Structure 1
Amino acid sequence: MPLTPSATTSPKSAFTAKVISLNEARPRRALKVCLLGYRSAPYGGGQGIYLKYLSKALVEAGHTVDVISGQPYPHLDPRVNLIKMPGMNLFETGLSSIRPHHLSSLTNIIEWTGKLSGAFSEPYCFGRRVVKYLAKHGRHYDIIHDNQCLSYGMLELQKRGFPLVTTIHHPITSDLRIALNAAKNWKERLLIKRWHSFLIMQRQVARQLHHVVTVSERSRQDIAAAFDMQPAGISVVLNGIDTEEFRPLADVVKNPNRVMAAVSSDQPLKGMRYLLEGVAKVLPQYPNLELLLVGTPKEDGESGQLIKQLGLSKHIRCVSGISTEDLVRFYNEAAVVIVPSVYEGFGLPAGEAMACGTALISTDGGALPEVVGDAAVQVPVRDSAAIAEALQALLASPAKREQLAAAGRQRIEELFCWRRAAQQMSNYYCEVLQRENR
């Protein structure tokens, strides 16, 4: 499967642009895998979910898996070993938590001053800590697998001869562009640019990595364009959905008045504005409608203010930090799930809702069309009227909801399971090791 190397990537990186085959380079032995995540709580976004389920699936495929993570820590299968790599966690604890002994470390000082100046220094600092740890304790691993840290520390690991694989879910340049377009004034744009200053590092690092994998074809093309890489130097291993956990529950009766959205952050990227506006347009016809949000918008944030302006407060219920069992039950109870994102590198909430047998409305942002196919109602991004129209149609038609629910479950079972993803990733690891050992 060799391809012509890119001028901006190492020859080691150019070995497949297609989805890794299940039948090629099957592992000859169990591997010792170390997964890295700079912050990995599953309720904080897709990266934490990816780390949780990929590590579990790799263990079930016969590998030994350690996860090294910064705070907040992941929820892992008991068979996966968690190695905690605590940082200052200033976005949870705040600057007031600083004590003099915290500043005895250069890495801590960098993280602290970054927070003071409005930067996001966690990936860079996590990379520094991981290099120090793995230099002492990491030589027994067959593969080090970075989950989009993309710090200079990853290049140092590569330089020191660690076989390194990096997953890039999607280029954060998309988040930056969407956030800047939504900014209200120059001060807000300045703060947004400062926060995303870590992208300078990510661009430089991504171009020098030998082995990059992503989770969708759309992400592959977008990463290549954003980071000036050749698509041929990026491989695709599709995400999975744990269809044993995310499944229809026989004892749950759907609430015909409940709409659900799993929105992990109040960023313009997630399209919360269009979701809220769309739901508001439907309320006159369905006054008993309830919107369940997995995630809690800040009251003084854009979404919190919009909820008040639209008179939605009494129609919205917010939950956060919930267990997977609760999340599955909420998916099952909902009549319709909406994914309003402007961009997704994959779109795990869409797959989870489909796996639970719930009718889905999804935008066509990013890779979402690859995930949902014809098993969901697709609407254009940034179109609250289209969301409202699709929601009204589904609320009025139980038969259509049932049809989409069945089609969604079938699509996930056939195309997106973690067993398949783990096998494909194992094959990718074997290709990496074969090339590293030449």
Structure 2
Amino acid sequence: MSYLPRALEAHENSASVDSFAKGTCATPVQGRLRIALLGYRSHPHVGGQGIYLHYLSKALVELGHEVDVISGPPYPELDARVTLIKIPSLDLYAHPNPTRALRLQHLLSFTDFYEWWSKLSGAFGEPYCFGRRLVKHFKNHSSRYDIVHDNQSLGYGLLTLQKRGVKVVATVHHPITRDRDLALAAATDKGQRWLINRWYSFLSMQKKVVQKLQHVITVSAQSQRDIEQAFARPAEKIHVIPNGVDTNIFKPLAEISRCEFALITTASSDQPLKGLSILLRALAQLRGEFPQLQLTVIGKLKEDGDTQKELAALQLLDVVQFKFGISNQELVEEYARAAIAIVPSLYEGFGLPAAEAMACGVPLVCSDGGALPEVVGEGARLVTAGSVESLTDALGDLIRNPVLRSQLGERGREHILQQLSWDCVGKKMQAYYFELLNQQGSRESC
């Protein structure tokens, strides 16, 4: 007798998975899946991957599924209905002195020693080590899941699980080769380039894993093309399901008045990919006409880093403030006070900050880097990525025209509600899972 996952017993006809381009929600299906979502580091304050895990797990639970998140530290913040399974690591990026983090018992573990040695030698070993710990976890706790869904750890351990018959799916938000190439382009000497290549050495592993996994998801058609180019996986073998926005949290706040000259952006200050330098130069030009302008950056300023030096050179130290580690509610309040939000990225595989700003009804000026035009549609003012002049002109137009700002903010909110709410995205993911399991059932019944 053929095996069918128990969720399929109540589901005979899988709904087709709609494309991102159509922007419509998949038809709900019946049946309860057991799903494990994986993340090697998943706290929302250390990157978008933690945000993705939080909201995807919540959306799937609300559709009636049983969801566990298996994560390394720093651990995620999850809905109370989602179970967190912790996979401890040395967590060396949180250690005050990584050199002294190794203890005698760690020498008995190749994984612990490798994580320690990678950090000290300039490499990033967390994805590889998470994969090894994941295999050990599943060896000690046999898989009870219909779907094991990885969130861009892409360690060799996923291939081991796949060989053991686990139904593994991986989301690749975008190939990190983009980050590496831009960092290399910004490097000023051979020593910096060597350190950059050393840190990104995990990419060779990720490329091999992406090529060999049976099921890969990405969040935009742009990322689909980039993965094909960077990792040599055919585009037709990469399924597109967009990220989502929690429109119940990210929404306009009528009780907070917008400040006419307040600008806001979300950016890692010393990552060239995020384009903060472009925005700072545009801001310096605009202050000639609008000296009242102020910019809030949702991110952390690195002391003595390139951004701090540029702020001083442009005489913006008293004009730009950085806010780090704030809650979602605090972020929404910042958006409510802002007259204009800006996403100046040179490239985005999706662009969640753009979608969140639009959901809050703040008018958005956004670069055309990567997938951003896909995400914002007609709901934002697009500018040329990397162009200070294009960004300056667009911001100037909106600052001078409050009616245009209001119209743009309303259009952006409506776009998100219609296409990128997590309810819609969760249904698309659910339909994709059922499609995979139906394929498995069909093969096993032959």
Tell me the TM-score range normalised by the shorter chain. over 0.9
**What whole-Å deviation, never above 9, does each CA across 1:386-427 have from its counterpart, x for those lacking one?**
212211111111111101100000000011111111111111
Helix, strand or coil at the partner of 1:120: coil
Helix, strand or coil at the partner of 1:292: strand
Q: CA deviation at 1:97?
A: 4.8
Partner of residue 174, structure 1: 178
- Distance, in Å, in 1 between the alignment partners of 2:229 and 2:221 is 13
- Distance, in Å, in 2 between the alignment partners of 1:428 and 1:135 is 27
Q: Where in structure 2 are the equivalents of 1:344-423 lying within 5 Å?
A: 344-423=348-427
Partner of residue 9, structure 1: none
Partner of residue 98, structure 2: 95
Unaligned runs of 5+ in 1: 1-14
Q: 1:23 and 1:249, CA in 2 relative to 1: closer, same or farther beyond 3 A?
A: closer
Partner of residue 250, structure 2: 246
Partner of residue 60, structure 2: 58
Matching residue's letter, 2:101: I
Helix, strand or coil at the partner of 1:197: helix
Partner of residue 275, structure 2: 271
Decide whether the 8 Å contact of 1:359 with 1:408 is kept in 2. Answer: yes
Decide whether the 8 Å contact of 1:17 with 1:236 is kept in 2. Answer: no
Matching residue's letter, 1:366: G
- Distance, in Å, in 2 between the alignment partners of 1:112 and 1:192 is 18
Decide whether the 8 Å contact of 2:26 with 2:424 is kept in 1. Answer: no
- Distance, in Å, in 1 between the alignment partners of 2:268 and 2:29 is 36
1:237 to 2:241 alignment: yes
2:36 aligns with one of 12, 34, 37: 34
1:310 to 2:314 alignment: yes
1:157 to 2:156 alignment: no
Q: CA deviation at 1:136?
A: 2.1
Decide whether the 8 Å contact of 1:207 with 1:228 is kept in 2. Answer: yes
- Distance, in Å, in 2 between the alignment partners of 1:316 and 1:98 is 36
Partner of residue 138, structure 2: 134
Q: CA deviation at 1:375?
A: 1.5
1:48 aligns with one of 47, 50, 55: 50
Matching residue's letter, 1:45: G
Q: Where in structure 2 are the equivalents of 1:186-265 lying within 5 Å?
A: 186-264=190-268
- Distance, in Å, in 1 between the alignment partners of 2:256 and 2:18 is 42
Helix, strand or coil at the partner of 1:314: coil
Per mean C-alpha deviation after superposition, the further-off stretch among 174-183 and 208-217 is 174-183
Matching residue's letter, 1:124: Y
Q: CA deviation at 1:265?
A: 5.3
Decide whether the 8 Å contact of 1:246 with 1:355 is kept in 2. Answer: yes
- Distance, in Å, in 2 between the alignment partners of 1:435 and 1:256 is 55
- Name the count of aligned residue pairs: 423
- Distance, in Å, in 2 between the alignment partners of 1:174 and 1:38 is 20
Partner of residue 5, structure 2: none
- Distance, in Å, in 1 between the alignment partners of 2:142 and 2:339 is 48
Q: CA deviation at 1:205?
A: 0.6
Q: 1:426 and 1:182, CA in 2 relative to 1: closer, same or farther beyond 3 A?
A: same
Q: CA deviation at 1:189?
A: 1.1
Helix, strand or coil at the partner of 1:238: coil
Per mean C-alpha deviation after superposition, the further-off stretch among 347-356 and 280-289 is 280-289
Q: CA-atom RMSD, angstroms?
A: 1.7
Matching residue's letter, 2:404: K
Unaligned runs of 5+ in 2: 1-15
Matching residue's letter, 1:50: Y
**What whole-Å deviation, never above 9, does each CA across 1:58-109 have from its counterpart, x for those lacking one?**
1111111111111111111111111111211111214145142343321110
Decide whether the 8 Å contact of 1:299 with 1:305 is kept in 2. Answer: no
Decide whether the 8 Å contact of 1:16 with 1:234 is kept in 2. Answer: no
Q: CA deviation at 1:16?
A: 8.2
Decide whether the 8 Å contact of 1:260 with 1:331 is kept in 2. Answer: yes
Matching residue's letter, 1:321: G
Decide whether the 8 Å contact of 2:18 with 2:26 is kept in 1. Answer: no
Q: CA deviation at 1:434?
A: 2.1
Q: CA deviation at 1:134?
A: 1.7
Partner of residue 108, structure 2: 104
Decide whether the 8 Å contact of 1:16 with 1:235 is kept in 2. Answer: no
1:285 aligns with one of 261, 286, 289: 289
Percent identity of the aligned residues? 48
Matching residue's letter, 2:83: N
Helix, strand or coil at the partner of 2:341: strand
Decide whether the 8 Å contact of 1:43 with 1:264 is kept in 2. Answer: no
Q: 1:260 and 1:23, CA in 2 relative to 1: closer, same or farther beyond 3 A?
A: closer
Decide whether the 8 Å contact of 1:163 with 1:436 is kept in 2. Answer: no
